[in-house]
């Protein structure tokens, strides 16, 4: 990150070329060829003004009329086709570069550590793919086009100008080097303001996501005016940042316009003096003026190139910062494929601490999950139950101790093979905006329809699915909003069942179910549990009374363990939790 910040634009451009532009060099070279033809055509049009004025208009030489006319027409056609070819090719290259970067970024976040994703607000993640990529797209497109088309056009036109009169050319360009310093300073300010704007846009995206997801709560608590006021403050902040950005970006206009006017006036005065003294033909002077005026636009675009480049650099710094942050939970080079597990999971003296915490979340945890057995975790919120569950699929890696599956340290096997043996049902229900069948089969893409129906029946979901207008092909909507909480939970359970994994992790899996559905689910889980290991987290103790072993977790430690009746006899934490849940 420090290298990115210290080297700035040059480093970012080199990295973009090395990692994303180089594969498209053949098409880029073709685009530059089209650019050269278009630039040469523009310069040729300025050059042809001399014979048009001197030979046709001034000397009235008929033999020049048709040849020059057809050559001018040919130049226009050449420029048109060259511009078309350049535009199509450059658009392909520019869009392909950005598409590759987006795909790379998406893959990076998909494989990123679970903890890193949790730390970043969803709005900020989305902002990477929208605001940042949009700025980078503009920068790449503008930079490549500016370096190619505008620079080549400028070179050809300057050649025509020096060919016509080198003294006038020196007069025309003497003032432009003085514009470099203010343009560079403007670019640096643009990068700073763009960085601030990107952060504000990310916060704005995050706020929108929270407000729309919390629409029910906002209305229930009558907080509409509060949210509107908060949104207006952020909108005003973005408005003034954009206004400031516009002022900084536009600051180069008076510089370039003033210098351009000074150059044109100087040329008119000196060139007009030469024409009056017959030291230069009218056609040569008009050709020179035309080349100067035609060169003025690409010169201005090149001057503004630094502003666009700095905006892109600011976006690229954020993108490359993310890409340069490798996941910590990775497969070893010699990691084994686990294969079909028996389902035995053992924690051996496991301790764990989150990066953001100075205190350990788990202390010296040891237990064994055996095939065909149900192990339950209970205890106060924040005691470490969910952390224990998250360590089994390697969402995090243990700090001290080890976790074994079939006697093998899970850090010695590939994450993919490990997770293929695990099915997870969380209290945080995740359904995708797809059909019910697709959501059930999410963990098993090759599942047949009969498998999907079996899983739905086992999860007590088949009856309500059949009652829907399109049955299993009914779209559930974003987050499953078309379904009730209990229906969503039953689909998530069916998804775990169809995976047929030997290890089942159930985190409050029946929390959103009514008593009848819960009874059906418990019966299904009893059947599914045969030959499998089941880890259950439950606050409702009635759901885990039949567990083969119950671990009471508090303060990151196992303070009690045993069966339901045995724990009640201890009259400790489990006894108090059970007493609180008894009907009064």
Does residue 280 register a pLDDT over 80? no
> Parallel, antiparallel, or unpaired: how do β-strands 408-409 and 422-425 relate?
unpaired
Residue 336 tokens read as 């084994």
More confident residue, 102 or 146: 102
**Residue 3 pLDDT greater than 50, yes or no:** no
**Cβ–Cβ < 8 Å for 460, 492:** no
Is the domain defined by 2-323 classed in CATH 2.60.40.420? no
Residue 206 pLDDT level (bands cut at 50, 70, 90): confident
- Residue-level pLDDT at 524: 67
- Among 38-47, 230-239, 489-498, the range scoring the smallest mean pLDDT is 38-47
Question: pLDDT at position 4, please?
Answer: 45
Residues 6+ apart with CB under 8 A from 247: none
DSSP assignment of 294-330 = HHHHHHHHHHHHHHHHHHHHHHHHHHHHHHTS--SS-
Question: Do residues 319 and 105 make contact, with C-beta atoms less than 8 angstroms apart?
Answer: yes
State residue 372's pLDDT score. Answer: 86
Give pLDDT, residue 247. 76
Residue 1 scores a pLDDT above 50: no
* For the chain, domain boundaries: 2-323, 332-415+543-584
Average pLDDT, the chain: 80
Residues 40-81 have pLDDT tens digits of 887 777 777 667 666 666 666 677 677 767 777 887 888 888
pLDDT band at 381 (very low <50, low <70, confident <90, very high): confident
Q: Is 175 helix (H, G, I), strand (E, B) or coil?
A: coil
Phi, psi of 501 (to 5 degrees): -85, 150
Q: What is the pLDDT of residue 413?
A: 94
Please identify which residue in the block is written with the tokens 């086709």.
Answer: 81
The tokens describing 568, both together, are 């009640």
CATH tag, 332-415+543-584: 3.40.50.300
Using 50, 70 and 90 to split pLDDT, how confident is the model at 582? low
For 89-117, the pLDDT digits (tens) are: 888 888 888 888 888 888 888 888 888 88
Spatial neighbors of 31 by CB under 8 A, at least 6 apart, are: 85, 86, 89, 90, 93, 144, 148
- Dist. CA 311–CA 12, nearest whole Å: 12
Confidence band of 367 (pLDDT split at 50, 70, 90): very high
Residue 245 has pLDDT above 90, yes or no: no
Q: Where are the alpha helices (DSSP H) in 398-503?
A: 415-419, 436-440, 449-458, 462-466, 485-499
Q: Above 50 in pLDDT, residue 205?
A: yes
pLDDT of residue 43: 77
């Amino acid at each position: 990150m420090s290298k990115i910040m210290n080297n700035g634009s040059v480093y970012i451009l080199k990295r973009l070329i090395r990692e994303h532009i180089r594969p498209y060099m053949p098409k880029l070279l073709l685009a530059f060829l089209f650019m050269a033809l278009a630039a040469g055509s523009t310069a040729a049009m300025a050059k042809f003004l001399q014979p048009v004025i001197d030979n046709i208009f001034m000397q009235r030489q008929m033999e020049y009329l048709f040849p020059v006319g057809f050559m001018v027409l040919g130049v226009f056609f050449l420029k048109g086709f060259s511009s078309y070819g350049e535009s199509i090719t450059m658009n392909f290259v520019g869009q392909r570069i950005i598409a590759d970067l987006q795909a790379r970024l998406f893959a990076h976040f998909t494989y990123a550590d679970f903890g890193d994703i949790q730390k970043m607000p969803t709005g900020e993640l989305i902002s990477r793919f929208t605001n940042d990529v949009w700025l980078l797209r503009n920068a790449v497109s503008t930079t490549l086009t500016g370096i190619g088309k505008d620079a080549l056009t400028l070179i050809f036109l300057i050649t025509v100008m020096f060919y016509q009169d080198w003294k006038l050319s020196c007069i025309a360009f003497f003032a432009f080097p003085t514009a470099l310093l203010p343009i560079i300073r403007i670019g640096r300010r643009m990068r700073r303001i763009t960085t601030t704007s990107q952060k504000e846009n990310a916060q704005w995206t995050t706020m929108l996501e929270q407000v729309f997801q919390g629409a029910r709560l906002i209305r229930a608590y009558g907080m509409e005016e509060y949210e509107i006021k908060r949104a207006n403050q952020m909108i005003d902040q973005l408005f003034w940042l954009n206004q400031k950005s516009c002022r900084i970006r536009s600051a180069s206009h008076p510089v370039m316009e003033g210098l351009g006017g000074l150059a044109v006036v100087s040329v008119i005065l000196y060139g007009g003096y030469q024409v009056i003294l017959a030291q230069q033909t009218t056609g040569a002077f008009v050709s020179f003026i035309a080349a100067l005026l035609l060169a003025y636009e690409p010169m201005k675009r090149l001057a503004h190139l630094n502003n666009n480049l700095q905006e892109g650099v600011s976006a690229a710094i954020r993108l490359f910062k993310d890409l340069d942050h490798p996941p910590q939970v990775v497969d070893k080079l010699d990691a084994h494929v686990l294969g079909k597990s028996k389902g035995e999971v053992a924690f051996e003296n496991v301790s764990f601490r989150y990066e953001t915490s100075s205190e350990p979340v788990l202390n010296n945890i040891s237990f064994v999950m055996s095939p065909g057995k149900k192990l339950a975790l209970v205890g106060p919120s924040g005691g470490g139950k969910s952390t224990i569950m998250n360590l089994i699929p390697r969402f995090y890696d243990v700090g001290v101790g080890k976790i074994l599956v079939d006697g093998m340290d899970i850090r010695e096997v590939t994450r993919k093979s490990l997770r293929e043996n695990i099915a997870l049902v969380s209290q945080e229900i995740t359904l995708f905006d797809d059909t019910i069948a697709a959501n059930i089969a999410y963990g098993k893409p090759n599942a047949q329809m009969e498998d999907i129906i079996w899983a739905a029946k086992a999860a007590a979901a088949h009856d309500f699915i059949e009652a829907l207008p399109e049955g299993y092909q009914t779209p559930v909507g974003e987050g499953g909003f078309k379904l009730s909480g209990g229906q969503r939970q039953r689909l998530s359970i069916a998804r775990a069942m169809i995976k047929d994994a030997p290890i089942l992790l159930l985190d409050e899996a029946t929390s959103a179910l009514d008593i009848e559905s819960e009874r059906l689910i418990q019966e299904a889980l009893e059947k599914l549990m045969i030959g499998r290991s089941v880890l259950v987290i439950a606050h409702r103790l009635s759901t885990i009374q039949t567990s083969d072993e119950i671990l009471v977790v508090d303060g990151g430690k196992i303070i009690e363990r045993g069966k339901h009746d045995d724990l009640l006899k201890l009259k400790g934490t489990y006894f108090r939790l059970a007493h609180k849940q008894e009907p009064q």
